[in-house]
Chains A and B, each alone.
Chain A
Amino acid sequence: MTKMAATRDGYGEALLELASNPKVVVLEADLGKSTKSLHFRKAHPERTVSCGIGEQNMLLVGAGLAASGYIPFASTFAIFTERAFEQMRNGVARPNLAVHVCGSHGGTHTGTDGSSAQSIEDLAIYRTLPNVIVMHPSDVVSTKVLTMQLAATVSPSYTRTARNKTPVLYEGRENEIEIGKGIVLKEGSDVAIIACGVMVSQSLEAAEALTAEGINATVVDMHTLKPLDGELVDRLVSSCGAIVTAEDHSVIGGLGGAVAEHLTSNTFAPLERVGVQDRFGESGQADEMLEVMKISAPYIAEAAKRAIARKA
Protein backbone atom coordinates (compact mmCIF):
# COMPACT_ATOMS: atom_id res chain seq x y z
CA MET A 1 0.00 0.00 0.00
CA THR A 2 1.43 3.35 -1.02
CA LYS A 3 1.99 5.73 1.87
CA MET A 4 -0.12 8.88 1.46
CA ALA A 5 0.29 12.38 2.93
CA ALA A 6 -0.63 15.98 2.13
CA THR A 7 2.06 18.41 0.99
CA ARG A 8 0.67 21.07 3.32
CA ASP A 9 1.79 18.89 6.23
CA GLY A 10 5.33 19.06 4.85
CA TYR A 11 5.11 22.85 5.04
CA GLY A 12 3.98 22.67 8.67
CA GLU A 13 6.80 20.27 9.58
CA ALA A 14 9.39 22.47 7.87
CA LEU A 15 8.31 25.56 9.84
CA LEU A 16 8.68 23.65 13.10
CA GLU A 17 12.22 22.60 12.22
CA LEU A 18 13.11 26.07 11.00
CA ALA A 19 12.07 27.49 14.36
CA SER A 20 15.57 26.85 15.71
CA ASN A 21 16.55 29.90 13.65
CA PRO A 22 15.37 32.83 15.81
CA LYS A 23 14.94 35.00 12.71
CA VAL A 24 12.15 32.82 11.32
CA VAL A 25 8.68 34.30 11.86
CA VAL A 26 5.31 32.97 10.74
CA LEU A 27 2.42 35.07 9.45
CA GLU A 28 -1.14 33.82 9.35
CA ALA A 29 -4.42 35.06 7.89
CA ASP A 30 -6.88 32.92 9.85
CA LEU A 31 -6.07 29.73 7.95
CA GLY A 32 -3.21 28.31 10.00
CA LYS A 33 -5.21 25.16 10.73
CA SER A 34 -5.51 24.61 7.00
CA THR A 35 -2.05 25.64 5.77
CA LYS A 36 -0.50 23.85 8.78
CA SER A 37 1.37 26.81 10.23
CA LEU A 38 -0.62 26.13 13.42
CA HIS A 39 2.09 23.81 14.75
CA PHE A 40 4.59 26.67 14.69
CA ARG A 41 2.04 28.95 16.34
CA LYS A 42 1.52 26.49 19.20
CA ALA A 43 5.25 26.10 19.80
CA HIS A 44 6.28 29.71 19.15
CA PRO A 45 3.37 32.12 19.65
CA GLU A 46 5.77 35.02 20.22
CA ARG A 47 7.08 34.64 16.67
CA THR A 48 3.67 34.13 15.03
CA VAL A 49 1.79 37.16 13.75
CA SER A 50 -1.95 36.87 13.25
CA CYS A 51 -3.04 39.21 10.47
CA GLY A 52 -6.69 38.25 10.71
CA ILE A 53 -8.49 37.84 7.43
CA GLY A 54 -6.29 40.44 5.75
CA GLU A 55 -3.96 39.07 3.10
CA GLN A 56 -2.87 42.42 1.66
CA ASN A 57 -1.67 43.58 5.05
CA MET A 58 -0.01 40.21 5.75
CA LEU A 59 2.29 40.28 2.73
CA LEU A 60 3.55 43.77 3.54
CA VAL A 61 3.98 43.02 7.24
CA GLY A 62 6.21 40.27 5.88
CA ALA A 63 8.06 42.80 3.74
CA GLY A 64 8.66 45.03 6.75
CA LEU A 65 10.00 42.08 8.74
CA ALA A 66 12.23 40.94 5.87
CA ALA A 67 13.65 44.45 5.48
CA SER A 68 14.54 44.34 9.18
CA GLY A 69 16.47 41.08 8.94
CA TYR A 70 13.75 38.52 9.67
CA ILE A 71 12.73 35.52 7.55
CA PRO A 72 8.94 35.64 7.26
CA PHE A 73 6.82 32.69 6.09
CA ALA A 74 3.26 33.75 5.26
CA SER A 75 0.53 31.35 4.29
CA THR A 76 -3.11 31.26 3.29
CA PHE A 77 -5.08 29.48 0.57
CA ALA A 78 -3.44 29.81 -2.86
CA ILE A 79 -6.49 31.62 -4.15
CA PHE A 80 -6.38 34.26 -1.39
CA THR A 81 -2.72 35.08 -1.95
CA GLU A 82 -3.91 36.35 -5.32
CA ARG A 83 -5.92 39.10 -3.62
CA ALA A 84 -2.58 40.53 -2.52
CA PHE A 85 -0.92 40.18 -5.92
CA GLU A 86 -0.09 43.85 -6.23
CA GLN A 87 1.38 43.87 -2.73
CA MET A 88 3.52 40.91 -3.81
CA ARG A 89 4.49 42.74 -6.97
CA ASN A 90 5.23 46.22 -5.66
CA GLY A 91 6.02 45.64 -1.99
CA VAL A 92 7.83 42.28 -2.04
CA ALA A 93 9.18 41.34 -5.49
CA ARG A 94 10.19 44.82 -6.63
CA PRO A 95 12.39 45.58 -3.59
CA ASN A 96 13.42 41.88 -3.61
CA LEU A 97 12.51 41.23 0.02
CA ALA A 98 12.69 37.55 0.96
CA VAL A 99 9.10 36.99 2.03
CA HIS A 100 8.10 33.36 1.57
CA VAL A 101 4.47 32.90 0.60
CA CYS A 102 2.81 29.50 0.75
CA GLY A 103 -0.51 29.05 -1.00
CA SER A 104 -2.19 25.88 0.18
CA HIS A 105 -5.24 24.25 -1.39
CA GLY A 106 -3.94 24.88 -4.89
CA GLY A 107 -5.56 23.39 -7.96
CA THR A 108 -8.84 21.62 -8.71
CA HIS A 109 -7.58 18.74 -6.52
CA THR A 110 -8.75 20.96 -3.62
CA GLY A 111 -12.09 19.33 -4.27
CA THR A 112 -15.50 19.90 -2.78
CA ASP A 113 -15.09 23.56 -1.78
CA GLY A 114 -15.63 24.19 -5.47
CA SER A 115 -14.31 26.67 -7.98
CA SER A 116 -13.96 29.68 -5.65
CA ALA A 117 -11.23 27.85 -3.71
CA GLN A 118 -9.55 26.06 -6.63
CA SER A 119 -6.69 28.27 -7.73
CA ILE A 120 -5.77 27.44 -11.31
CA GLU A 121 -3.75 30.56 -12.15
CA ASP A 122 -1.47 31.15 -9.14
CA LEU A 123 1.65 29.59 -10.66
CA ALA A 124 1.19 31.63 -13.83
CA ILE A 125 0.80 35.01 -12.17
CA TYR A 126 3.70 34.63 -9.72
CA ARG A 127 5.94 33.36 -12.51
CA THR A 128 5.62 36.77 -14.21
CA LEU A 129 7.23 38.58 -11.27
CA PRO A 130 10.98 39.28 -11.39
CA ASN A 131 12.99 37.91 -8.42
CA VAL A 132 10.30 35.43 -7.30
CA ILE A 133 11.01 31.70 -6.95
CA VAL A 134 7.91 29.63 -7.83
CA MET A 135 7.50 26.04 -6.62
CA HIS A 136 4.88 23.34 -6.54
CA PRO A 137 6.26 20.24 -4.78
CA SER A 138 4.77 16.82 -5.33
CA ASP A 139 4.94 15.13 -1.96
CA VAL A 140 5.21 15.77 1.76
CA VAL A 141 8.94 15.07 1.94
CA SER A 142 9.99 17.35 -0.89
CA THR A 143 7.70 20.10 0.39
CA LYS A 144 9.45 19.95 3.74
CA VAL A 145 12.95 19.93 2.22
CA LEU A 146 12.24 22.73 -0.27
CA THR A 147 10.54 24.92 2.35
CA MET A 148 13.55 24.53 4.62
CA GLN A 149 15.89 25.48 1.78
CA LEU A 150 13.90 28.69 1.25
CA ALA A 151 15.09 30.04 4.59
CA ALA A 152 18.59 30.40 3.11
CA THR A 153 17.55 32.18 -0.09
CA VAL A 154 17.78 35.93 -0.61
CA SER A 155 14.75 36.14 -2.90
CA PRO A 156 11.02 36.04 -2.23
CA SER A 157 9.11 32.91 -3.13
CA TYR A 158 5.71 31.45 -3.80
CA THR A 159 5.11 27.77 -3.01
CA ARG A 160 1.87 26.01 -3.78
CA THR A 161 0.82 23.09 -1.61
CA ALA A 162 -2.22 20.87 -1.93
CA ARG A 163 -5.04 20.14 0.47
CA ASN A 164 -5.46 16.43 -0.16
CA LYS A 165 -3.15 13.46 0.27
CA THR A 166 -0.86 12.23 -2.50
CA PRO A 167 1.67 9.35 -2.60
CA VAL A 168 4.90 9.85 -0.65
CA LEU A 169 7.74 9.71 -3.18
CA TYR A 170 10.93 10.85 -1.51
CA GLU A 171 11.22 9.10 1.85
CA GLY A 172 14.96 8.56 2.39
CA ARG A 173 15.77 10.55 -0.76
CA GLU A 174 15.95 14.00 0.83
CA ASN A 175 19.45 14.62 -0.60
CA GLU A 176 18.16 14.59 -4.18
CA ILE A 177 15.93 17.60 -3.64
CA GLU A 178 17.18 21.07 -4.48
CA ILE A 179 15.43 24.33 -5.44
CA GLY A 180 15.71 24.85 -9.20
CA LYS A 181 16.67 21.26 -10.08
CA GLY A 182 14.12 18.93 -11.62
CA ILE A 183 14.22 15.32 -10.46
CA VAL A 184 14.19 12.41 -12.93
CA LEU A 185 11.99 9.75 -11.33
CA LYS A 186 11.93 7.31 -14.22
CA GLU A 187 14.10 7.04 -17.34
CA GLY A 188 12.75 6.26 -20.81
CA SER A 189 13.66 7.30 -24.35
CA ASP A 190 10.33 7.67 -26.19
CA VAL A 191 8.79 10.67 -24.45
CA ALA A 192 9.45 12.86 -21.40
CA ILE A 193 6.62 13.74 -19.03
CA ILE A 194 7.40 16.85 -16.99
CA ALA A 195 5.02 17.28 -14.09
CA CYS A 196 4.57 19.21 -10.88
CA GLY A 197 2.56 18.81 -7.69
CA VAL A 198 -0.22 16.25 -7.53
CA MET A 199 0.33 15.41 -11.20
CA VAL A 200 3.73 13.82 -10.58
CA SER A 201 2.23 10.62 -9.18
CA GLN A 202 -0.39 10.65 -11.94
CA SER A 203 2.47 10.87 -14.46
CA LEU A 204 4.25 7.89 -12.88
CA GLU A 205 1.01 5.94 -13.23
CA ALA A 206 0.71 7.02 -16.86
CA ALA A 207 4.31 5.94 -17.52
CA GLU A 208 3.57 2.51 -16.09
CA ALA A 209 0.55 2.13 -18.37
CA LEU A 210 2.65 3.23 -21.34
CA THR A 211 5.31 0.60 -20.53
CA ALA A 212 2.65 -2.09 -20.95
CA GLU A 213 2.14 -0.73 -24.45
CA GLY A 214 5.86 -0.80 -25.22
CA ILE A 215 6.39 2.94 -24.76
CA ASN A 216 9.21 4.02 -22.45
CA ALA A 217 8.62 7.39 -20.81
CA THR A 218 10.87 9.56 -18.69
CA VAL A 219 9.08 11.18 -15.76
CA VAL A 220 10.41 14.39 -14.22
CA ASP A 221 9.25 16.13 -11.07
CA MET A 222 9.70 19.81 -11.97
CA HIS A 223 8.94 21.12 -8.49
CA THR A 224 10.51 24.50 -9.30
CA LEU A 225 8.76 26.34 -12.14
CA LYS A 226 10.95 29.39 -11.74
CA PRO A 227 13.85 29.39 -12.21
CA LEU A 228 13.06 26.58 -14.65
CA ASP A 229 15.66 23.82 -14.97
CA GLY A 230 16.27 24.54 -18.66
CA GLU A 231 19.36 22.35 -18.84
CA LEU A 232 17.27 19.36 -17.89
CA VAL A 233 14.59 20.26 -20.47
CA ASP A 234 17.32 20.46 -23.13
CA ARG A 235 18.58 17.00 -22.13
CA LEU A 236 15.04 15.60 -22.34
CA VAL A 237 14.63 17.04 -25.82
CA SER A 238 17.73 15.25 -27.03
CA SER A 239 17.07 11.96 -25.22
CA CYS A 240 13.30 11.68 -25.86
CA GLY A 241 12.42 14.13 -28.67
CA ALA A 242 8.87 14.69 -27.40
CA ILE A 243 7.58 16.38 -24.25
CA VAL A 244 4.37 16.30 -22.20
CA THR A 245 3.71 18.67 -19.33
CA ALA A 246 1.21 17.80 -16.62
CA GLU A 247 -0.18 20.16 -14.00
CA ASP A 248 -3.32 20.76 -11.97
CA HIS A 249 -3.35 24.36 -13.20
CA SER A 250 -4.36 26.27 -16.30
CA VAL A 251 -2.48 25.27 -19.43
CA ILE A 252 -1.89 29.01 -19.81
CA GLY A 253 1.22 30.31 -18.11
CA GLY A 254 2.06 27.55 -15.63
CA LEU A 255 4.43 24.61 -16.08
CA GLY A 256 3.23 24.02 -19.66
CA GLY A 257 3.72 27.69 -20.42
CA ALA A 258 7.18 27.72 -18.86
CA VAL A 259 8.32 24.66 -20.83
CA ALA A 260 6.77 26.00 -24.05
CA GLU A 261 8.63 29.29 -23.60
CA HIS A 262 11.86 27.39 -23.08
CA LEU A 263 11.36 25.14 -26.11
CA THR A 264 10.54 27.97 -28.50
CA SER A 265 13.74 29.80 -27.55
CA ASN A 266 16.01 26.72 -27.52
CA THR A 267 15.97 23.30 -29.13
CA PHE A 268 12.42 22.59 -30.18
CA ALA A 269 10.44 19.38 -29.62
CA PRO A 270 6.71 18.63 -29.91
CA LEU A 271 4.92 19.51 -26.68
CA GLU A 272 1.53 18.40 -25.37
CA ARG A 273 0.22 20.28 -22.35
CA VAL A 274 -2.03 18.43 -19.91
CA GLY A 275 -3.76 20.85 -17.57
CA VAL A 276 -6.93 22.80 -16.94
CA GLN A 277 -8.27 23.90 -20.34
CA ASP A 278 -9.05 27.57 -19.68
CA ARG A 279 -12.10 26.92 -17.55
CA PHE A 280 -13.15 27.02 -13.88
CA GLY A 281 -13.73 24.00 -11.68
CA GLU A 282 -16.68 22.84 -9.60
CA SER A 283 -17.40 20.85 -6.44
CA GLY A 284 -16.20 17.27 -6.55
CA GLN A 285 -13.84 14.85 -4.83
CA ALA A 286 -10.15 15.32 -5.63
CA ASP A 287 -9.95 12.23 -7.84
CA GLU A 288 -13.23 13.14 -9.54
CA MET A 289 -11.88 16.59 -10.37
CA LEU A 290 -8.84 15.13 -12.12
CA GLU A 291 -11.29 13.22 -14.34
CA VAL A 292 -13.57 16.21 -14.93
CA MET A 293 -10.57 18.29 -15.94
CA LYS A 294 -9.20 15.43 -18.06
CA ILE A 295 -5.79 15.53 -16.38
CA SER A 296 -5.58 12.11 -14.67
CA ALA A 297 -3.10 9.37 -15.65
CA PRO A 298 -4.98 8.04 -18.72
CA TYR A 299 -5.13 11.53 -20.21
CA ILE A 300 -1.39 11.98 -19.65
CA ALA A 301 -0.75 8.65 -21.42
CA GLU A 302 -2.88 9.77 -24.37
CA ALA A 303 -1.00 13.06 -24.53
CA ALA A 304 2.28 11.12 -24.56
CA LYS A 305 1.17 9.17 -27.60
CA ARG A 306 0.12 12.37 -29.37
CA ALA A 307 3.51 13.93 -28.66
CA ILE A 308 5.34 10.85 -29.95
CA ALA A 309 3.21 10.89 -33.14
CA ARG A 310 4.29 14.48 -33.76
CA LYS A 311 8.01 13.66 -33.76
CA ALA A 312 9.56 14.68 -37.07
Chain B
Amino acid sequence: MTSTDELRELARKCRVHIVNMVHRAQAGHPGGSLSEIDLLAALYKTTLRVRPDDPDWDDRDRFILSKGHASPGMYAILAEMGFISVDDLASYRVLGGICQGHVDMKWCPGVDFSAGSLGMGLSFGMGSAIAGRLEGSERQVYVMLGDGEIQEGSVWEAAMAATHHELGNLNVILDRNRIQNDDFCEAQMRMFDIPAKWKAFGWNVKEIDGHNMEEIVDGLNFLQNSNDGPSILIAHTVKGHGVSFMADNPAFHGAAPNDEQYAQAMAELGEVVA
Protein backbone atom coordinates (compact mmCIF):
# COMPACT_ATOMS: atom_id res chain seq x y z
CA MET B 1 0.00 0.00 0.00
CA THR B 2 1.43 3.32 -1.07
CA SER B 3 1.34 6.01 1.64
CA THR B 4 -0.11 9.40 0.90
CA ASP B 5 3.38 10.87 1.50
CA GLU B 6 4.70 8.65 -1.28
CA LEU B 7 1.83 9.72 -3.53
CA ARG B 8 2.61 13.37 -2.87
CA GLU B 9 6.26 12.79 -3.79
CA LEU B 10 5.20 10.95 -6.96
CA ALA B 11 2.96 13.88 -7.93
CA ARG B 12 5.81 16.32 -7.25
CA LYS B 13 8.10 14.40 -9.61
CA CYS B 14 5.35 14.41 -12.24
CA ARG B 15 4.97 18.17 -11.86
CA VAL B 16 8.67 18.55 -12.59
CA HIS B 17 8.24 16.43 -15.74
CA ILE B 18 5.24 18.53 -16.80
CA VAL B 19 7.05 21.84 -16.50
CA ASN B 20 10.12 20.36 -18.21
CA MET B 21 8.03 19.12 -21.15
CA VAL B 22 6.20 22.36 -21.87
CA HIS B 23 9.34 24.44 -21.33
CA ARG B 24 11.37 22.27 -23.70
CA ALA B 25 8.58 22.27 -26.34
CA GLN B 26 7.80 25.95 -25.71
CA ALA B 27 4.17 24.89 -26.19
CA GLY B 28 1.53 22.74 -24.55
CA HIS B 29 -0.87 22.77 -21.65
CA PRO B 30 0.69 23.05 -18.20
CA GLY B 31 -2.35 24.40 -16.30
CA GLY B 32 -4.66 21.41 -16.70
CA SER B 33 -1.77 18.99 -16.34
CA LEU B 34 -0.83 20.44 -12.97
CA SER B 35 -4.45 20.44 -11.77
CA GLU B 36 -5.03 16.78 -12.67
CA ILE B 37 -1.72 15.29 -11.59
CA ASP B 38 -2.47 14.52 -7.92
CA LEU B 39 -5.52 12.60 -9.13
CA LEU B 40 -3.55 10.73 -11.79
CA ALA B 41 -0.74 9.84 -9.38
CA ALA B 42 -3.18 8.30 -6.90
CA LEU B 43 -5.27 6.62 -9.61
CA TYR B 44 -2.32 4.88 -11.25
CA LYS B 45 -0.55 3.97 -8.01
CA THR B 46 -3.48 2.80 -5.88
CA THR B 47 -6.35 1.86 -8.15
CA LEU B 48 -5.76 1.02 -11.82
CA ARG B 49 -5.19 -2.65 -12.67
CA VAL B 50 -2.68 -2.21 -15.47
CA ARG B 51 0.62 -3.82 -16.50
CA PRO B 52 3.32 -1.37 -17.63
CA ASP B 53 5.23 -4.25 -19.29
CA ASP B 54 2.08 -5.42 -21.11
CA PRO B 55 0.16 -2.21 -21.88
CA ASP B 56 -2.30 -3.96 -24.23
CA TRP B 57 -3.34 -6.61 -21.68
CA ASP B 58 -6.96 -7.31 -22.67
CA ASP B 59 -8.40 -7.33 -19.18
CA ARG B 60 -6.72 -4.17 -17.90
CA ASP B 61 -8.71 -1.37 -16.35
CA ARG B 62 -9.11 1.44 -18.87
CA PHE B 63 -8.12 5.04 -18.28
CA ILE B 64 -9.32 7.60 -20.80
CA LEU B 65 -7.95 11.13 -20.59
CA SER B 66 -10.80 12.86 -22.35
CA LYS B 67 -9.22 16.29 -21.81
CA GLY B 68 -6.48 15.04 -24.12
CA HIS B 69 -4.61 18.34 -24.30
CA ALA B 70 -3.53 17.83 -20.67
CA SER B 71 -1.17 15.21 -22.03
CA PRO B 72 1.99 16.26 -20.16
CA GLY B 73 0.32 15.04 -16.96
CA MET B 74 -0.50 11.70 -18.58
CA TYR B 75 2.97 11.24 -20.07
CA ALA B 76 4.55 12.12 -16.72
CA ILE B 77 2.65 9.42 -14.84
CA LEU B 78 3.17 6.89 -17.66
CA ALA B 79 6.92 7.51 -17.37
CA GLU B 80 6.91 7.21 -13.58
CA MET B 81 4.90 3.97 -13.84
CA GLY B 82 7.28 2.54 -16.47
CA PHE B 83 4.98 2.44 -19.51
CA ILE B 84 7.43 4.75 -21.25
CA SER B 85 10.87 6.03 -20.24
CA VAL B 86 11.67 9.43 -18.77
CA ASP B 87 13.77 10.00 -21.91
CA ASP B 88 10.60 9.56 -24.01
CA LEU B 89 9.20 12.71 -22.40
CA ALA B 90 11.65 14.72 -24.52
CA SER B 91 9.62 13.63 -27.58
CA TYR B 92 6.63 15.72 -26.47
CA ARG B 93 5.40 17.67 -29.53
CA VAL B 94 8.50 16.64 -31.52
CA LEU B 95 8.10 15.19 -35.02
CA GLY B 96 7.95 11.41 -34.82
CA GLY B 97 7.78 11.41 -31.02
CA ILE B 98 5.52 9.02 -29.08
CA CYS B 99 4.39 11.93 -26.89
CA GLN B 100 2.08 13.57 -29.44
CA GLY B 101 0.61 16.98 -28.61
CA HIS B 102 -2.62 15.34 -27.51
CA VAL B 103 -2.67 11.77 -26.16
CA ASP B 104 -2.88 9.21 -28.97
CA MET B 105 -3.43 5.46 -28.61
CA LYS B 106 -1.64 4.80 -31.89
CA TRP B 107 1.55 6.47 -30.70
CA CYS B 108 2.03 5.96 -26.99
CA PRO B 109 1.93 2.76 -24.91
CA GLY B 110 -0.58 2.96 -22.06
CA VAL B 111 -2.87 5.44 -23.82
CA ASP B 112 -6.33 3.89 -24.27
CA PHE B 113 -7.97 6.53 -26.46
CA SER B 114 -6.87 9.12 -29.00
CA ALA B 115 -8.29 12.27 -27.48
CA GLY B 116 -7.76 15.92 -28.28
CA SER B 117 -11.25 16.82 -29.36
CA LEU B 118 -13.27 17.55 -26.23
CA GLY B 119 -16.44 15.69 -25.35
CA MET B 120 -15.50 12.30 -26.78
CA GLY B 121 -13.93 10.34 -23.92
CA LEU B 122 -17.04 9.54 -21.90
CA SER B 123 -18.77 7.97 -24.92
CA PHE B 124 -15.67 5.92 -25.70
CA GLY B 125 -15.51 4.90 -22.04
CA MET B 126 -19.12 3.81 -22.21
CA GLY B 127 -18.29 1.50 -25.11
CA SER B 128 -15.32 0.15 -23.15
CA ALA B 129 -17.56 -0.45 -20.14
CA ILE B 130 -20.17 -2.30 -22.20
CA ALA B 131 -17.39 -4.47 -23.66
CA GLY B 132 -16.22 -5.34 -20.13
CA ARG B 133 -19.73 -6.28 -19.11
CA LEU B 134 -20.32 -8.40 -22.24
CA GLU B 135 -17.16 -10.33 -21.40
CA GLY B 136 -18.21 -10.81 -17.79
CA SER B 137 -15.05 -8.99 -16.67
CA GLU B 138 -14.78 -7.08 -13.41
CA ARG B 139 -12.54 -4.47 -15.01
CA GLN B 140 -13.29 -0.82 -14.42
CA VAL B 141 -13.25 2.13 -16.79
CA TYR B 142 -12.10 5.57 -15.59
CA VAL B 143 -12.62 8.69 -17.67
CA MET B 144 -11.15 12.06 -16.78
CA LEU B 145 -13.18 15.04 -17.97
CA GLY B 146 -12.35 18.71 -17.72
CA ASP B 147 -14.95 21.09 -16.33
CA GLY B 148 -14.94 23.28 -19.45
CA GLU B 149 -15.30 20.09 -21.46
CA ILE B 150 -18.74 19.32 -20.06
CA GLN B 151 -20.07 22.30 -22.01
CA GLU B 152 -19.98 19.90 -24.98
CA GLY B 153 -23.50 18.58 -25.52
CA SER B 154 -22.37 15.09 -26.44
CA VAL B 155 -21.06 14.60 -22.88
CA TRP B 156 -24.67 14.68 -21.73
CA GLU B 157 -25.76 12.19 -24.39
CA ALA B 158 -23.24 9.83 -22.82
CA ALA B 159 -24.21 10.77 -19.25
CA MET B 160 -27.83 9.89 -20.01
CA ALA B 161 -26.97 6.67 -21.82
CA ALA B 162 -24.61 5.45 -19.08
CA THR B 163 -27.36 5.45 -16.45
CA HIS B 164 -29.87 3.95 -18.89
CA HIS B 165 -27.49 1.03 -19.29
CA GLU B 166 -26.67 0.93 -15.54
CA LEU B 167 -22.92 0.91 -16.15
CA GLY B 168 -21.56 0.45 -12.65
CA ASN B 169 -18.11 -0.17 -14.09
CA LEU B 170 -17.98 3.33 -15.62
CA ASN B 171 -16.36 6.06 -13.53
CA VAL B 172 -15.64 9.71 -14.17
CA ILE B 173 -13.14 11.96 -12.47
CA LEU B 174 -14.00 15.60 -13.16
CA ASP B 175 -11.07 18.01 -12.93
CA ARG B 176 -12.96 21.05 -11.68
CA ASN B 177 -10.17 23.61 -12.11
CA ARG B 178 -12.55 26.46 -13.05
CA ILE B 179 -10.55 27.68 -16.03
CA GLN B 180 -10.85 26.95 -19.73
CA ASN B 181 -8.97 28.16 -22.81
CA ASP B 182 -10.07 31.77 -23.04
CA ASP B 183 -10.93 32.61 -19.46
CA PHE B 184 -12.54 31.40 -16.22
CA CYS B 185 -15.43 28.99 -16.87
CA GLU B 186 -17.68 31.37 -15.00
CA ALA B 187 -17.05 33.98 -17.71
CA GLN B 188 -17.29 31.62 -20.68
CA MET B 189 -20.30 29.52 -19.75
CA ARG B 190 -21.73 29.41 -16.26
CA MET B 191 -22.37 25.83 -15.21
CA PHE B 192 -24.25 26.44 -11.96
CA ASP B 193 -24.67 23.36 -9.74
CA ILE B 194 -22.52 20.70 -11.41
CA PRO B 195 -23.08 17.97 -8.76
CA ALA B 196 -26.86 18.49 -9.03
CA LYS B 197 -26.69 18.06 -12.80
CA TRP B 198 -24.94 14.71 -12.58
CA LYS B 199 -27.28 13.59 -9.78
CA ALA B 200 -30.22 14.54 -11.98
CA PHE B 201 -28.80 12.28 -14.69
CA GLY B 202 -28.77 9.44 -12.16
CA TRP B 203 -25.06 9.29 -11.31
CA ASN B 204 -23.47 8.55 -7.94
CA VAL B 205 -21.69 11.79 -7.02
CA LYS B 206 -18.92 12.63 -4.56
CA GLU B 207 -16.98 15.88 -4.20
CA ILE B 208 -13.40 16.11 -2.95
CA ASP B 209 -10.46 18.47 -2.75
CA GLY B 210 -8.45 17.29 -5.72
CA HIS B 211 -5.11 18.24 -4.14
CA ASN B 212 -5.69 16.53 -0.79
CA MET B 213 -4.23 13.03 -1.12
CA GLU B 214 -6.28 11.54 1.72
CA GLU B 215 -9.50 12.81 0.13
CA ILE B 216 -8.37 11.59 -3.29
CA VAL B 217 -7.73 8.07 -1.99
CA ASP B 218 -11.15 8.12 -0.29
CA GLY B 219 -12.72 9.33 -3.52
CA LEU B 220 -11.13 6.56 -5.59
CA ASN B 221 -12.46 4.04 -3.06
CA PHE B 222 -15.90 5.57 -3.54
CA LEU B 223 -15.64 5.03 -7.32
CA GLN B 224 -14.50 1.43 -6.91
CA ASN B 225 -17.23 0.62 -4.43
CA SER B 226 -20.16 2.30 -6.21
CA ASN B 227 -21.23 -0.36 -8.68
CA ASP B 228 -24.99 0.12 -8.90
CA GLY B 229 -24.55 2.65 -11.69
CA PRO B 230 -22.03 5.10 -13.10
CA SER B 231 -20.20 7.28 -10.61
CA ILE B 232 -18.45 10.62 -10.74
CA LEU B 233 -15.81 12.10 -8.47
CA ILE B 234 -15.90 15.87 -8.73
CA ALA B 235 -12.42 17.00 -7.77
CA HIS B 236 -12.07 20.68 -6.89
CA THR B 237 -8.66 21.65 -8.13
CA VAL B 238 -6.58 24.71 -8.91
CA LYS B 239 -5.37 25.10 -12.47
CA GLY B 240 -1.58 25.30 -12.48
CA HIS B 241 -1.38 23.99 -8.89
CA GLY B 242 2.19 23.74 -7.57
CA VAL B 243 3.69 26.63 -9.53
CA SER B 244 2.74 29.96 -7.98
CA PHE B 245 2.54 32.10 -11.12
CA MET B 246 0.58 29.46 -13.03
CA ALA B 247 -1.92 28.80 -10.24
CA ASP B 248 -5.44 29.96 -11.00
CA ASN B 249 -4.09 31.88 -14.00
CA PRO B 250 -5.94 31.48 -17.31
CA ALA B 251 -2.78 32.61 -19.14
CA PHE B 252 -1.19 29.22 -18.40
CA HIS B 253 -3.95 27.05 -19.81
CA GLY B 254 -1.93 26.65 -22.98
CA ALA B 255 1.32 28.55 -22.67
CA ALA B 256 4.90 27.60 -21.82
CA PRO B 257 7.09 29.33 -19.22
CA ASN B 258 10.08 31.35 -20.40
CA ASP B 259 13.56 30.52 -19.04
CA GLU B 260 13.23 32.78 -16.03
CA GLN B 261 9.78 31.44 -15.16
CA TYR B 262 11.09 27.93 -15.70
CA ALA B 263 13.87 28.43 -13.13
CA GLN B 264 11.37 29.80 -10.65
CA ALA B 265 8.99 26.87 -11.24
CA MET B 266 11.75 24.34 -10.72
CA ALA B 267 12.82 26.03 -7.50
CA GLU B 268 9.23 26.01 -6.22
CA LEU B 269 8.97 22.31 -7.06
CA GLY B 270 12.16 21.59 -5.12
CA GLU B 271 14.35 20.80 -8.10
CA VAL B 272 17.87 22.13 -8.57
CA VAL B 273 18.47 23.06 -12.20
CA ALA B 274 22.04 22.53 -13.36
User: Interface of A with B (CB < 8 Å)?
Assistant: 25, 46-47, 49-52, 54, 56-70, 72, 86-87, 90-91, 94-96
Say whether, besides A56-B157, A61-B161, A91 and B58 are in contact (CB < 8 Å). no
Say whether, besides A52-B164, A57-B154, A90 and B117 are in contact (CB < 8 Å). yes
Complex contact B105–A95 (CB within 8 A): yes
Query: Is B165's CB within 8 Å of the partner chain A?
Result: yes
Say whether, besides A54-B161, A65-B131, A96 and B106 are in contact (CB < 8 Å). yes
Complex contact B161–A68 (CB within 8 A): no
Please name the 9 residue pairs, one residue from A and one from B, whose CB atoms are nearest each other, closest first: A64-B127, A60-B123, A68-B131, A54-B157, A57-B157, A61-B127, A56-B154, A64-B128, A64-B124
Instruction: Count B-side interface residues using an 8 Å CB cutoff.
Output: 31
Complex contact A60–B124 (CB within 8 A): yes
Complex contact B116–A65 (CB within 8 A): no
Please, which residue of chain B has its CB at the minimum distance from the CB of A23? B134
* CA A51 to CA B160, docked complex, whole Å: 9
Please encode chain B, from 193 to 232, with 1 for each CB lying within 8 Å of some chain A CB and 0 for all others: 0000000000000000000000000000000000000000
Complex contact A67–B112 (CB within 8 A): yes
In the complex, which residues of chain B have a beta carbon less than 8 angstroms from the beta carbon of A95?
104-106, 113-114
Q: How many A-B residue pairs have CB under 8 A?
A: 104
B245 to chain A, nearest CB (A): 33
Complex contact A64–B154 (CB within 8 A): no
Query: Is B125's CB within 8 Å of the partner chain A?
Result: yes
* CA A228 to CA B106, docked complex, whole Å: 26
In the complex, which residues of chain A have a beta carbon less than 8 angstroms from the beta carbon of B22?
none
A sample of 25 inter-chain contacts (CB < 8 A) reads A25-B130, A50-B164, A52-B157, A54-B154, A57-B126, A60-B126, A60-B154, A60-B158, A61-B158, A63-B124, A64-B124, A64-B129, A64-B130, A65-B127, A65-B128, A67-B105, A67-B124, A68-B58, A68-B131, A68-B135, A69-B131, A72-B127, A86-B117, A87-B123, A90-B117
Complex contact A87–B154 (CB within 8 A): yes
A101 to chain B, nearest CB (A): 14
Query: Is B120's CB within 8 Å of the partner chain A?
Result: yes
A58, A59, A68, A90 — most chain B CB neighbours (10 Å): A68
Complex contact A49–B130 (CB within 8 A): yes
Complex contact A91–B120 (CB within 8 A): yes
In the complex, which residues of chain B have a beta carbon less than 8 angstroms from the beta carbon of A47?
134
In the complex, which residues of chain A have a beta carbon less than 8 angstroms from the beta carbon of B240?
none
Please, which residue of chain A has its CB at the minimum distance from the CB of B165? A49
In the complex, which residues of chain A have a beta carbon less than 8 angstroms from the beta carbon of B131?
64-65, 68-70
